Amino acid sequence: MEDKVLLAVRSAARITRNWRKKQIAVLGGSILLVAKQTGADPMAVLHDVMEWLDDWLEENGKGGDKR
């Protein structure tokens, strides 16, 4: 029984890890696209996105800056 639990936990961790990698790739691609279309520095766009996300998380009771 314990082996099945460990397998399930490892499988869930693997799915989560892959999902996070995809989220990061999509976010990075979006930031680069916005920077290219607006002529802004990609790091400036990234910082704007991070600031917006922190504000949104605080407004929705999800906690603030976790860095």
For residue 38, give Cα distances in angstroms to 1, 22, 29, 55, 58: 56, 24, 14, 23, 28
pLDDT of residue 19 exceeding 90, the answer is no
- Model confidence, pTM: 0.61
pLDDT at residue number 40: 93
| pLDDT tier at 3, thresholds 50, 70, 90 | confident
| pLDDT tier at 1, thresholds 50, 70, 90 | low
pLDDT in tens, 27-67: 899 999 999 999 999 999 999 988 998 898 889 887 655 54
